[in-house]
Structure 1
Amino acid sequence: MLYKKKICFYLEIYLVACLIDYFSTAATYVEDRTGVKFGENILSFRAIFNDVRNSVDRVHYATKLKERVCENIEKYVHKDEQLPILLDRIRSHGAKTFLLTNSEYWYTDKLMAYLLTTDNDNNNPKRDWKSYFSYIVVDAQKPLFFAEGTTLRIIDPNTGSMKLGSYSGQLQQNEVYSGGSCEVFSKLIGSMGKDVLYVGDHIFGDIIKSKKQKAWRTMLVVPELNHELKVFHDKRNLFNTLEALDTTISDLLRSFDMTSNHGPDAVSRIKQKIQVKENTEIYH
């Protein structure tokens, strides 16, 4: 089963692969179909995956990781000077913008202040990052937000603490709210279903749940595609060659006598050629 969530996805896959490779090749362990054995002890591949998954979650939700990011925010967070311009341009055309995040207010405040603070004239005060959004919701607990949700509360931005009781009034600009649900949020902003375009980078927590349960229009942000497209463009001739060789193999196998005990020699030669092509042109 493929794991769908994207939180540290590539890191998790790498760690799982390294651990499985280690236990599968270690002399003290015997590989089984679903795991490895050490004497009477069995370590399943599923258990390895779950251990890595829980460990990454523990690190992700612990404040130490976020504190480390905030200590050196320029190193870990990419700042795009066009972002404030984009948000203002969206609102200038009559649309409303909202920020919906699982992060706590203190962390959201530090990141947004860094991302949306521009170099203004010294005579003008710095613009509050909250003014770029019509509505702000932190501690959303997605994907739970798109189901039953949690209690909607208002946050005091001066202290970062939540006020007592459940908030039931209209959402106000420059206010920060905690929790809530998609159903309550949609009613308070007066927009439902296809009226909302939701942009996120978490395919499970952001895209699938919001689209499937609440019919929001969605836009998935995949930064890794920039590199993939660059490689594809730079190595286009190589990919075309590999595709042609693969097609040749398919044609040979299609006309091959299936009663034979040996495969066609041409297929082996083409596979060797493909391997050489990949090693010489991609890795070099």
Structure 2
Amino acid sequence: MAPFGIRRFPFGSSLLLQSTRLAQSGLVEGVGGHILRRFSSGVTIEQTLPKWEAEEGKQISEDEIAKIRHAFNAAKEKFLKIPDPDALKEMPQINPKGIYVNKNLRLDKIKVYGFDYDYTLAHYSANLQSLIYDLAKEYLVNELRYPDSCLEFKYDHSFPIRGLYYDKSKGCLMKLDFFGSIEPGGCYFGRHKACLIGDIVQHFVDAKLDFDTSYVYQDVNQAIHHVHCSGLVHRAILSDPTKYLVKNGQLLRFLRRLRENGKKLFLLTNFPYYFVDGGMRFMLGDSLGHQDSWRELFDVVIAKANKPQFYTSEHPFRCYDVEKDTLTFSKVDTFLPNKIYYQGCLKTFLQITKWNGPEVMYFGDHLFSDLRGPSKAGWRTAAIIHELENEIQIQNEDSYRFEQAKFHIMQELLGRLHRTVANSDQSEEYMSLLWEINEERRKARCTMKGMFNKSFGATFLTDSGQESAFAYHIHQYADVYTSKPENFLFYPVEAWLHAPCDIKIMPHHIKVSSSLFKTRLTYGSASSGKIE
């Protein structure tokens, strides 16, 4: 795969130039292409103040710039030294296996636990993404007549992250912040779908082929849909489960603990039963007894549920005959033990089970297919975000916290500088200092981004420290989130989970401030070298 970090985009270059021109003319391009006007009174300080007062204000500004310059130089001196280890030890460590709460949740009120299968109960190795990528590119070449050269593509594990958006008209993958704005530097050509789209678009551009970027998106979607619906990926996984699936005795412990505490359990998945059965037997087989079956852990098992339509449709349930591999014709008006059910809908599910919304909690990894419907239906929801554990581990590292402290010091200095000087008083010293502070902030931001993903940075954060659009959707559709369901083993079954009150959006984020440095920098006199 080509190095995305150095790609240039003919589709997006005009937009960047247009945005620059708009900014210079007092116009700002908003989300969705709307044009917003920057309003200005057009009145300068000199027009509103007597001359002597304007001159006095100018002298005060120069003094403040000198203070900020001294503080900036003092901060840079501190950057050359390793931060105080004692200060780092005092910073709270975030638990990579913690449960993070968006909405208060009393587990003692939860009587029913529901689970998705894929990436929720099932843990996969990194080989799965490459498998889906390879099967999809073969379909594109063999069935949709894409160039044979596409078969040379290799999946790049280091490129994609979750939560990217694709601009079908421009052929760009974008990382958005929680306002829906495009992240600066977060627009790239091009996880398995994102990587395949990126490789094809880049290949076509390099070969100077005439193509429509929206067709590439449709074709890749079709290819990946075929890989799943045809059973190609399911059969490949079951034929070599040790390569793709991860055994998980802790999951069995968690499910058994729920049963022992009188909780009801159900499995609701879009996958066919044979695939789920093969995976569950492999993952739990070493921990289950010889006479035990994973199906005994669940009161209801529903396969091929067709989420998210399951939550809004009125499709009837069908009972699945495991031995004959067929659907029966008898009406389903009750769920029997050790039976498998296909299709169905939420309305009938609630009518049969009599399980009320707030007493049900559903676990899933996909925010829109798994969790948006249950959230709107009144179920409590738990998002399983596997990337969370690794990103928290990075946030806990001293090197990351050091760079974050540097970033926030520069932010504080910039805020001070902007508040001090009026637009009409932007002297040469002001512009020089503004550029230097911005440059130090940029370096810290780039260093932090590279610790996560060199192309897109952190999954949950933008380069500017804002929560990403992906983080916003977690906040919107998940009452709690964690990296694995079995992390609930670290909490009592009757625990009360409370959302912290001192956060912006994501409770696993902690801002590392300038107090990381032993000699605290505070704004003060030029001689003190402090920044308040």
User: Per-residue deviation at 1:140?
Assistant: 0.4
CA distance in 2, matches of 1:179, 1:27: 45
TM-score by length of 2: 0.45
CA distance in 2, matches of 1:165, 1:17: 48
CA distance in 2, matches of 1:272, 1:188: 62
Give the partner amino acid of 1:268: W
Q: Which residue of 2 aligns with 1:229?
A: 392
- The counterpart of 1:86, out of the listed 247, 254, 271, is 254
CA distance in 1, matches of 2:441, 2:252: 48
User: Per-residue deviation at 1:158?
Assistant: 1.9
CA distance in 2, matches of 1:130, 1:106: 12
Corresponding residue SS for 1:97 = strand
Corresponding residue SS for 2:296 = helix
8 Å contact from structure 1 (residues 137, 176) kept in 2: yes
Identity, % of aligned positions: 23
Q: Which residue of 2 aligns with 1:28?
A: 208
CA distance in 2, matches of 1:88, 1:232: 33
Give the partner amino acid of 1:85: R
- The counterpart of 1:206, out of the listed 344, 356, 370, is 370
CA distance in 2, matches of 1:119, 1:211: 33
Once the two structures are superposed, the pairs formed by residues 1-284 of structure 1 within 5 Å of their partners are: 3=165, 10-21=191-202, 26=206, 28=208, 38=210, 43-44=212-213, 46-119=214-287, 125-168=290-333, 170-212=334-376, 214-234=377-397, 235-258=400-423, 264-277=431-444, 283=450
Instruction: Flag the 1:27–1:250 CA change in 2: closer, same or farther, 3 A.
Output: farther
Give the partner amino acid of 1:94: G
Larger RCO (alpha carbons 8 Å, 6+ apart): 2
Give the partner amino acid of 2:195: Y
Corresponding residue SS for 2:246 = coil
CA distance in 2, matches of 1:181, 1:278: 47
8 Å contact from structure 2 (residues 403, 447) kept in 1: no
Q: Identify the range of structure 1 (249-258 vs 91-100) with the bigger mean alpha-carbon deviation.
A: 249-258
Instruction: Flag the 1:61–1:241 CA change in 2: closer, same or farther, 3 A.
Output: farther
User: Per-residue deviation at 1:279?
Assistant: 5.8
TM-score by length of 1: 0.80
8 Å contact from structure 2 (residues 395, 401) kept in 1: yes
Q: Identify the range of structure 1 (265-274 vs 182-191) with the bigger mean alpha-carbon deviation.
A: 265-274
Give the partner amino acid of 2:238: C
Instruction: Flag the 1:283–1:125 CA change in 2: closer, same or farther, 3 A.
Output: closer
Give the partner amino acid of 1:52: V
User: Per-residue deviation at 1:14?
Assistant: 3.4
Aligned residues: 261
Deviations 1:35-63 (CA, angstroms, capped at 9, x unpaired): xxx4xxx624x444333333322223231
Corresponding residue SS for 2:212 = strand
CA distance in 2, matches of 1:152, 1:133: 17
Instruction: Flag the 1:55–1:244 CA change in 2: closer, same or farther, 3 A.
Output: farther
Please report the RMSD computed on the Cα atoms of aligned residues, expressed in angstroms. Answer: 2.9
Deviations 1:105-157 (CA, angstroms, capped at 9, x unpaired): 1111101111222346xxx6331111011110001000011011422111112
8 Å contact from structure 2 (residues 252, 287) kept in 1: no
User: Per-residue deviation at 1:231?
Assistant: 0.8
Q: Which residue of 1 aligns with 2:467?
A: none
Q: Which residue of 1 aligns with 2:80?
A: none
CA distance in 2, matches of 1:20, 1:247: 41
